[in-house]
Structure 1
Amino acid sequence: MKQFFTHILALLLVVSLVASEANAQQFSKRKQYNSVGVSLNAMNYFGDIVPKASIPSLRFAATRPNIGVNITHRFAPRISARVALAYGQITGDDEKAADKTDPDARFRYHRNMNFRNNIFEVSAVGIFDLIANRNNYIKRPDFVPYVFAGVAVFHHNPRGEVRGGDIAGTGVTQGAIVNLQPLRTEGVDYALTNISIPFGGGVRYKLNKSFDIGLEIGWRKTFTDYLDDVSGVYIDQAKLGSAEARYFGRGITRTDDGTFINFNVPGEMRGKGNEKDWYIVTGLNVNYILAPRVKSPKFR
């Protein structure tokens, strides 16, 4: 899977560079233009708190909204660059995602972890149109499929909901929403600002002279395994410095009869550990083309 995505990114880069070089001399500045847009999206996540312990597994009921704004500049018949800001949420819940009757998912059900994470993202991507527009913006094609890839910086903050309260003698309040990163539940002080690799594809439709509407799906390959605050193993309870840390860090395990017990075996698996987390953004975007100003020739 990793090699597949690596090859896709490499191919997009090579094709974009070749096409840009071949078309740059043919595409005058008069035909270049900018557009601004807004997007309304659905956001999902791949990580440790999903139905199956694999990247393609996600729980559609955990879908959350994402909104964004962007500005795009067209450089060549097939090449554009886009800068975007986006804000959305991802979430996961062992109680709802893991099937306790499935031997492969039973551990995750009893682990009983949950999280929600608001993500603010700034991205810059190159867009390669599969149908070229060698004319000005007015004569652009009606329907254009495209692919994109680039780089993004995102800020996140995973939080968890306390469930079970004082049943386990933790001293934390039932229903409290707690910031998880400061708790160091696995003894790791991970960063809340990270880099990701956005890539994907979409289709764009010309509504009229000035407006395009499109559908797009984009994956974000991150370099952190802590979007959900779950990655490695349980650590010694003595290293957990607060009631909230002991609650989330030692594991409040749900039993088959619905009660809660402590689960704290240092070194016992808490997360998969060998896969980084991903998030995916799918949605609708509307773009308004800023008509370029054409300078009239001066005659003397």
Structure 2
Amino acid sequence: MGKSKIPERGLVIVAGGGISGVKSSICGSPGCNDFGPNASIGAWYKISPYVSLASSVDYVRLGASEKDPRRPLNVSFQSEVIEVTGTVVVNLLDSYAGSGNYRSSRKRFVVPYARAGGGFIYYTATSYPGDASSLEDSQTTYDPEREYPAIAAVIPFGGGLRFRFSDEIAVAGEAMYHLTTTKFLDNVGPRLLPASGTDHYAVAAIKIMYTPVIKNKIFSKKYQE
């Protein structure tokens, strides 16, 4: 429990990175995934000690290979994804650890939270013969299943743990799952796999959170007046 006179309201700048995995028509398990990088930047706006509004822009690279012997398509893919989302963040514990007269001066070191929202992705997918070790090594790529770049809707949801180190700095470990409305993240559509459904992906990341204390002090003063 850390002492602080800064209210749990105002702007927080967030940046981070992690790894991503995909669930697509040709890959539904960790074993066939080629885990890719994730990088993000955004902001949270704390409305109260329990609720924040968040927006972010993420880069995600997805990839996998067909390894189901029942569907020997001999295909791999790689997708470059830009994601823009808005979410609601709900703390599962009050940010304040104190009570009574000490409530406004003591804050929890660890706060679990849940996030959910919506947005869109802008993506380009490339598929290639599965015996190539990577897209860069492949001498052949398959025809596009649709026109790229393409846009699709996305619904992210998940949660994390936020660790508070000071009024300015916090670090969060976060896991999010992303439902999309497209079946072409792997560039494998009805032509190759008629029964294919929509593709989804997951991201595990570490986020650095910076709270500009001076600006939030001004905000808090106006709020109290």
TM-score by length of 1: 0.61
1:281 equivalenced with 2:209 (yes/no): no
Secondary structure of the 1:293 match is helix
C-alpha separation in 2, matches of 1:215 and 1:158: 28
1:147 equivalenced with 2:124 (yes/no): no
1:90 equivalenced with 2:62 (yes/no): yes
What's the CA shift for 1:232? 2.2
What's the CA shift for 1:179? 7.5
Instruction: Report matched runs for 1:94-243 at 5 Å.
Output: 94=66, 98=67, 105-108=68-71, 110-133=72-95, 139-161=106-128, 175-176=138-139, 178=141, 180-181=143-144, 184=145, 192-234=150-192
What's the CA shift for 1:61? 5.3
C-alpha separation in 1, matches of 2:130 and 2:200: 26
What's the CA shift for 1:178? 4.1
What's the CA shift for 1:106? 1.4
Verify the 8 A CA contact 2:95 2:111 in the aligned structure 1.
Answer: no
Kindly report the root-mean-square deviation, in angstroms, between the aligned alpha carbons of the 2 structures. Answer: 2.8
What's the CA shift for 1:162? 5.0
1:221-240 superposed Cα distances (whole Å, 9 cap, x missing partner): 00111111113244xxxxxx
Larger RCO (CA within 8 A; separation ≥ 6): 2
Verify the 8 A CA contact 1:158 1:179 in the aligned structure 2.
Answer: no
1:81 equivalenced with 2:53 (yes/no): yes
Secondary structure of the 2:178 match is strand
Secondary structure of the 2:70 match is helix
C-alpha separation in 1, matches of 2:124 and 2:40: 19
Cα 1:73–1:178 change in 2 (3 A) is: same
Verify the 8 A CA contact 2:22 2:33 in the aligned structure 1.
Answer: no
How many residue pairs end up in the alignment?
A: 204
Partner of 2:3: none
Unaligned 5+ segments in structure 1 are 1-29, 99-104, 166-173, 235-269
